Amino acid sequence: MRVLLVEDDAMIGDAVQGALKDESYAVDWIGNGIEALNTLATQRYDVILLDLGLPGKDGLSVLSSLRQQGNDTPLLIITARDALADRLQGLDNGADDYVLKPFAISELLARMRAVLRRKGGTSGPVMSNGCVTLDPATHEASRGEGREKYRLSNREFALLAALLIRPGTILSRGELEEKIYGWGEEVESNAVEFFIHALRKKLGSDAIKNVRGVGWMVSRNV
193 part of the interface to another protein, by CB under 8 A: no
Spatial CA neighbour of 126 closest among 108, 105, 142, 148: 142
Name the helix (H) or strand (E) containing 127. Answer: strand 127-128
Contact string 21-40 vs another protein (x = CB under 8 A): -x------------------
Q: Indicate which single residue of 36, 65, 72, 104 sits in contact with another protein (rule: CB under 8 A).
A: 104
d(CA 63, CA 93): 7
d(CA 181, CA 159): 10
Cα–Cα–Cα angle for 209, 211, 201, rounded to 5 degrees = 25
Least Cβ distance, residue 77 to another protein (angstroms)? 14
Residues 118-177 that bind another protein (CB under 8 A): 168-170
Least Cβ distance, residue 80 to another protein (angstroms)? 4
Which CB sits closer to another protein, 44 or 212? 212
Least Cβ distance, residue 220 to another protein (angstroms)? 6
Task: Determine phi and psi for 132, rounding to 5 degrees.
Answer: -105, 135
Least Cβ distance, residue 99 to another protein (angstroms)? 10
Q: Indicate which single residue of 24, 84, 148, 183 sits in contact with another protein (rule: CB under 8 A).
A: 84
The one-letter code for the residue type at 218 is V
Cβ atoms 4, 36 nearer than 8 A: yes
d(CA 161, CA 41): 40
Whether the bond into 102 is cis, omega within 30 of 0: yes
Contacting range for another protein; rule: CB under 8 A; set: 54-62, 98-106, 113-121, 147-155: 98-106
Cβ count near 78 (within 10 Å): 22
Cβ atoms 113, 127 nearer than 8 A: no
Least Cβ distance, residue 211 to another protein (angstroms)? 6
Residues 201-220 that bind another protein (CB under 8 A): 209, 211-215, 217, 219-220
Which CB sits closer to another protein, 64 or 172? 172
Least Cβ distance, residue 169 to another protein (angstroms)? 6
SS3 175: helix
Residues that bind another protein (CB under 8 A): 9, 11-12, 14-16, 18-19, 22, 80, 82-84, 101-106, 168-170, 209, 211-215, 217, 219-221
